[in-house]
């Protein structure tokens, strides 16, 4: 194929849709969940296990790979996919969320998705980048040209601009990557949300220009623009319209809004985006949120929550989240989730995984993380099948009934 990607919608019901996204490293049946391999690894899960559970594409992080091992190491290995022994399509984010984690969100339990006026932890676990939240003091300063930050590894000084982010992502070689943006906290005032949105638009133009100037990268890598605007529907609409006017290959919708406002934020943005290009919901991976995104017309989703809560001993089930450290699971010899059996986790009981987690044995985190990723992937696969069958609305309603009955 001459273009970096192609996308076609095969089924549509209301706003929800299913389609096929084709890259140089294979097809992605959409809607699809994208496991996050921040440092070129999905934590605790081998590539073969990802493939066995149906993962189609993985996403890695520009900020982290820039610091370790460096983009040249990845490039010299043959690009992200070869470096991590993953044969399918790959994506990279721009590092913009790490700016958020290092800057205004540093040391706070502010997440991309807020509830009311407070941005809570997700299942009691902070969702900002825990790998950069291990020091004290704000580590990033944003200006109109870019962001200056100190490494959370050794305190060394670094700077990202849109052009530098694109240069790094070209070296990483993913099939799809994102323009450099500013992700704001949901609690920021309207005036700052607009300022950050306008800056994101300027950075989008610079990111796009830097990419289009690299003729070789243009043939192999697709660039996605990002819609911002916080929880404000007028800003979401404005941002979507402005970003859609640029020649991006696809579009991402950034977080930073109230959970209760998710529907409205999507409904404000999506009609302004081209129908024939893919849409990615950044940092969204909770089961109910994914189904909301699908219902509103999103195609791709990524989130670290599945492996993160797994490492802390919590698992997704059809009947809600189960915290296996709880005393009630110590003698529970039933399967992790009798309604969703994930390849590689068959035969492990809740009692056994509870024991491993309590004992701080690595295998417990591996099993729980594998189960959670498989659960989300199976949920999205089922949603896609339901879209093709014309039964998505019932599929979603049945899941919400069961999940919220816990």
305 CB-side CA count, 13 A:
29
Quote the pTM value.
Answer: 0.91
**Minimal CA–CA distance to 306: which of 282, 326, 325, 287?**
287
Owner of token pair 């996919």: 81
pLDDT of residue 129: 53
pLDDT of residue 131: 55
Does the annotation count 337 as an active-site position? no
pLDDT at 15 over 90: yes
The domain 5-303 is classified under which CATH number: 3.30.420.40, 3.50.50.60, 3.40.30.10, 3.20.20.105?
A: 3.20.20.105
Mean pLDDT on 54-83: 97
In which band, very low, low, confident or very high, does the pLDDT at 119 lie, cut at 50, 70 and 90? Answer: very low
Which one is catalytic: 72, 93, 144, 181?
A: 93
Mean pLDDT on 192-218: 96
pLDDT at 127 over 80: no
Mind listing the pLDDT tens digit for each residue in 149-188? 888 888 888 999 999 999 999 999 999 999 999 988 888 8
The tokens for 162 are 């849109």
**Minimal CA–CA distance to 123: which of 366, 252, 303?**
303
* Rounded distance between C-alpha atoms, residue 370 and residue 372, angstroms: 6
**Bridge partners, 303 (sequence order):** 35
Does the annotation count 299 as an active-site position? no
Where do you find CATH 3.20.20.105 in the chain? 5-303
pLDDT at 338 over 60: yes
Which one is catalytic: 129, 289, 302, 337?
A: 302
Q: Are 85 and 47 in contact (CB under 8 A)?
A: yes
Alpha-helical regions (H) of 213-360 = 215-220, 233-244, 262-269, 287-296, 305-311, 350-358
């Amino acid at each position: 194929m001459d273009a970096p990607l192609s996308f076609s919608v095969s089924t549509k019901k209301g706003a929800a849709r299913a389609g096929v996204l084709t890259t140089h490293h294979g097809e992605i049946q959409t809607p699809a969940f994208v496991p996050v391999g921040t440092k070129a690894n999905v934590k605790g899960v081998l590539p073969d296990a990802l493939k066995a559970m149906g993962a189609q594409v993985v996403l890695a992080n520009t900020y982290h790979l820039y610091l370790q091992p460096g983009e040249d190491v990845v490039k010299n290995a043959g690009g992200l996919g070869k470096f991590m022994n993953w044969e399918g399509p790959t994506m990279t984010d721009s590092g913009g969320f790490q700016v958020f984690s290092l800057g205004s969100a540093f040391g706070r339990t502010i997440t991309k998705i807020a509830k009311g006026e407070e941005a809570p932890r997700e299942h009691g676990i902070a969702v900002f980048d825990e790998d950069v939240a291990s020091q004290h003091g704000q580590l990033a300063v944003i200006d109109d040209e870019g962001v200056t930050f100190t490494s959370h590894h050794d305190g060394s000084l670094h700077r990202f601009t849109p052009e530098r982010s694109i240069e790094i992502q070209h070296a990483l070689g993913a099939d799809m990557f994102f323009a450099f943006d500013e992700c704001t906290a949901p609690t920021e005032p309207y005036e700052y949300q607009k300022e950050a949105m306008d800056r994101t638009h300027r950075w989008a133009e610079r990111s796009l220009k830097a990419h289009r100037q690299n003729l070789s990268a243009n043939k192999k890598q697709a660039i996605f623009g990002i819609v911002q605007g916080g929880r404000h529907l007028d800003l979401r609409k404005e941002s979507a319209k402005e970003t859609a006017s640029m020649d991006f290959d696809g579009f991402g919708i950034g977080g930073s809004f109230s959970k209760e406002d998710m529907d409205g934020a999507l409904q404000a943005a999506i009609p302004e985006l081209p129908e024939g290009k893919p849409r990615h919901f950044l940092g969204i991976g909770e089961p109910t949120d994914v189904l909301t995104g699908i219902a509103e017309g999103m195609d791709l989703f990524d989130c670290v929550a599945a492996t993160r809560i797994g490492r802390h001993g919590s698992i997704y089930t059809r009947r809600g989240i189960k915290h296996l450290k709880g005393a009630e699971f110590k003698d529970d010899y039933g399967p992790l989730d009798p309604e969703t059996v994930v390849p590689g986790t068959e035969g492990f009981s809740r009692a056994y995984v509870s024991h491993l987690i309590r004992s701080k044995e690595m295998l417990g985190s591996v099993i729980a993380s594998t189960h959670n990723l498989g659960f989300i992937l199976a949920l999205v696969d089922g949603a896609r099948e339901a879209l093709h069958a014309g039964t998505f609305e019932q599929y979603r309603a049945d899941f919400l009934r069961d999940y919220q009955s816990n």
